[in-house]
Amino acid sequence: MSDSTWKYENEQPDPSKIIFYGNKICPFAHRAWWSLLEKELDHEFIFVGLGAAKPQWLNKLNPKSKIPVIQYQGQVLTESSILAQLVDELTPEKGSLAGDTPMERYYARIFLEELSSLVGEFYGLLGSTPNDNETQKTKLTASLVKANNLLLAQDAINAKNSVSGPYVLGNKLSFAEVFLIPFFERKSVTLSHYHNFDIFSSPEGELTRLKQWWTASRERPAFQKTLNEINSQFWIDSYAGYVKKA
């Protein structure tokens, strides 16, 4: 359960310390948390309940009453993708999740841009009704096939530059993974359970490159730390409220 009192309500934390407010359920918070762990930045994790368990003090911390939130250098900072980029830029000596060259940054950005509808389509199917279930499945399948093809096309580009590996940038993790894999982690379980939908297959066959990409990303030690004490049933229970009854 979330604390009913806010540790830093009446005192300011050390401005040099990173205070991260999140919840394991939230894939948006997962982006920033995974980034903190990948970049090995010391931080304090403060659990924030969601839904009926959301603490009243969250409104004081963030008037939007949303997570993730980071307190750092006396500021309250929000928005998951921007927080992940902030975390990345705090440790330039460890390489950049944005990409280390202009072309790497382009490849990561264009991958995300091409798949900009994917997150919404994940939720569209999860919350679908019998009337639109097949339509939502068709839309999502098309985007997942596109993702698989984009990875194959990027592999060919990488090979011309003597680069190989499971990620969009070959052997380098980037925001192409950080921004999307948290959603794949949840929806691979919940869409299978609630809608009998395998996100790694299509009518044309298995999306093997997409599954390889997901598997390599989730097996990273930093990502595995975020899954401590989490199993499939946790995701099924956590997302039950999104599912519409027939």
Among 10-14, 139-143, 144-148, where is mean pLDDT lowest? 10-14
pLDDT (0 to 100) of residue 105: 98
Q: What is the mean pLDDT of residues 193-204?
A: 96
Say how far apart CA 27 and CA 246 lie, in whole Å: 26
Structure confidence at residue 4 as a pLDDT band (50, 70, 90): low
Structure confidence at residue 3 as a pLDDT band (50, 70, 90): low
Q: Cα Rg for the chain, rounded, in angstroms?
A: 19
Structure confidence at residue 244 as a pLDDT band (50, 70, 90): confident
pLDDT (0 to 100) of residue 2: 46
Structure confidence at residue 73 as a pLDDT band (50, 70, 90): very high
Structure confidence at residue 15 as a pLDDT band (50, 70, 90): confident
- Neighbour tally for 33: CB within 10 Å: 27
Q: What is the mean pLDDT of residues 7-24?
A: 88
pLDDT in tens, 78-91: 999 999 999 999 99
Query: What is the residue-wise DSSP string for 3-67?
Result: -SS-TTSSSPPPTTS-EEEE-TT-HHHHHHHHHHHHTT---EEEE---GGG--THHHHH-TT--S
φ/ψ (deg, to 5) at 90:
-75, -15
Say how far apart CA 60 and CA 118 lie, in whole Å: 32
Q: What is the mean pLDDT of residues 3-21?
A: 83
**Cβ atoms of residues 84 and 32 within 8 Å:** yes
pLDDT in tens, 165-184: 999 999 999 999 999 999 99
pLDDT (0 to 100) of residue 11: 81
pLDDT (0 to 100) of residue 1: 39
Report the chain's mean pLDDT, rounded to a whole number: 95
% of the chain beyond a pLDDT of 70: 98
- Per DSSP, 130 falls in state T
Per-residue pLDDT for 148 more than 80?
yes
- Whole-model pTM: value is 0.94
pLDDT (0 to 100) of residue 101: 96
pLDDT (0 to 100) of residue 9: 76
- Is the preceding peptide bond at 68 cis, omega within 30 degrees of 0? yes
